[in-house]
Amino acid sequence: MRDPFAVSAAEAQHLAETFGTPLYVVDESHLREKIRAYIDGFASVYPHTEISFASKANSTLAVLQIAADEGCTIDTASEGELEAALRAGVPAARCHLHGNNKTLAELERAAKEGVGQIVVDNFEEIERLGAMGKVPDLLLRLAPGVDPKTHGKISTGQADTKFGFNIADGSAERALLRALELGLPVVGFHCHVGSQLLDPEAQRSGGALITDFALRMRREHGFTAKIINVGGGLGVRYQPGDQPMPIPDYCRLVVEAVRESLQGEWEPTLVQEPGRSLVAESGITLYTVGVVKTVPAGEGQRTYVAVDGGLSDNPRPALYGSKYPVSALPQDGRTMAGTRPMRVSGKHCETDMLFDMVDLPGDIRPGDFVQVQCTGAYNSSMASQYNRYARPATVIRRANGQFELVQRRDTFDEMFARESLISL
Q: Which residues are catalytic?
A: 349
Beta strands in 128-199 (DSSP E): 137-143, 165-166, 186-190
DSSP state of 312: T
Radius of gyration of the chain (CA): 23
Q: Alpha carbon of 344 to those of 304, 307, 365, 370: distances in Å? A: 6, 7, 13, 9
DSSP 235-301: ---SSTT--PPPHHHHHHHHHHHHHHHHTTS--PEEEE--SHHHHGGGEEEEEEEEEEEEEEETTEE
Spell out a b/e string for 259-271, using b for 16 or more CB atoms within 10 Å of the CB, else e. bebbeeeeebbbb
What are the b/e assignments for 37-70, b being 16+ CB within 10 Å?
bbbebbeebbeebbbbbbbbbbbbbbbbbbbbeb
Q: Please choose, from the candidates 98, 89, 195, 107, the residue with its C-alpha nearest in 3D space to the C-alpha of residue 141.
A: 98
- The residues, ordered by sequence, that sit 6+ positions from 25 with a Cβ below 8 Å of its Cβ are 5, 7, 15, 283, 284, 285, 286, 394, 395, 396, 397, 403
CA distances from 188 to 27, 46, 139, 252 (A): 35, 17, 5, 21
H or E segment to which residue 124 belongs: helix 123-130
CB within 8 A of 85, min separation 6: which ones?
Answer: 55, 59, 64, 68, 74, 76, 94, 95
For residues 370 and 305, the answer to whether their CB atoms sit within 8 Å is: yes
